[in-house]
């Protein structure tokens, strides 16, 4: 007799991510970190949202670089605020 919630065993492991996907997620997260930091001093309204989008995609891919991707999202948010503040204070172009 089966208990409620018990099903048949799966033939495929639940964590079947390929190493290539994890490597791409790590590369995307590190690239987003670099672009976010560059965006602080160079056109923050154009550069940093793109970096934030890349960081969010890397976070969605997950894998073993999940903490790096989360850090990239947080750094992009802080860099956006800092970059916009610096650009407005120094009267530099935003985009």
Q: Of the candidates 77, 75, 72, which has an alpha carbon nearest to the alpha carbon of residue 54? A: 72
DSSP-assigned states of every residue in 58-84: HHHH-GGGHHHHHHHHHHHHHHHHHHH
| Cβ count within 10 A of residue 49 | 15
Model pTM score: 0.78
User: What are the boundaries of each domain within the chain?
Assistant: 19-89
Could you list the pLDDT tens digit for every one of the 95 residues in the chain?
A: 556 666 666 565 555 668 888 999 999 999 999 999 999 999 999 999 999 999 999 999 988 899 999 999 999 999 999 999 999 999 998 88
């Amino acid at each position: 007799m089966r208990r409620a919630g018990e099903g048949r065993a799966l033939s495929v492991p639940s964590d079947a991510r390929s190493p290539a996907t994890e490597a791409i997620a790590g590369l995307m997260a590190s690239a987003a970190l670099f672009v976010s930091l560059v965006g602080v001093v160079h056109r923050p309204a154009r550069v940093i949202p793109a970096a934030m989008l890349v960081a969010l995609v890397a976070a969605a891919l997950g894998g073993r670089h999940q903490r790096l991707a989360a850090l990239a999202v947080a750094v992009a948010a802080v860099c956006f605020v800092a970059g916009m503040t610096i650009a407005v204070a120094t009267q530099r172009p935003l985009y």
